[in-house]
Amino acid sequence: MKEIELKTTITAYQLEELTEAERHLVELAIEATSRSYAPYSRFHVGAALLLDNGVEIIGCNQENAAFPAGLCAERSAIFAAGAQYPNVPVKMIAIAARTPGGQLQATPVSPCGTCRQVLIETETRFRQPVRILLYGSECVYAVDSIKSLMPLSFTEFQ
């Protein structure tokens, strides 16, 4: 038997410690939470992307009474970027959420497994990491690649 230890590094920042570009992206993600359609969970999630060409794209979760028909904020932003700028890599993504009571989430929320898989595909496709900023009103978690959140990932190119 062989034991394999996997480690990850997540840096916790205060919002004011982020770069201006990072803070701006987080603010866009926070704003995007207000555009979310979440009548069932009342958990409003917003995402904002920064593409390599400087373009910013937002996304928000969209729920549906037929639950599998909904879409997470992260994927709505990534798929919108792919439709509008198919050959431009994603440089960074910021994610924020509001609780069912409407308050910004105190602790950072991380992408679901499906969104993590889409982020892995994005990094693999463009052969560059995507910086991820997970906003919480108490702190912002930053990781330099989705591989930090999903170290045993599945890609076509393995």
For strand 131-135 and strand 90-98, is the pairing parallel, antiparallel, or unpaired? parallel
Closest CA to 110 of 134, 91, 136: 134
Burial class, 80, CB count within 10 angstroms (exposed 0-12 / middle 13-18 / buried 19+): middle
Residue 74 is among the residues annotated as catalytic for this protein: yes
Per annotation, catalytic residue among 5, 74, 121, 156:
74
- Whether the Cβ atoms of residue 117 and residue 75 lie closer than 8 Å to each other: no
Name 65's Cβ contacts closer than 8 Å, sequence gap at least 6. 40
Give dist(CA 155, CA 118) in Å, integer.
Answer: 10
Integer-rounded Cα Rg, in Å, for the chain is 15
What residues act catalytically?
74
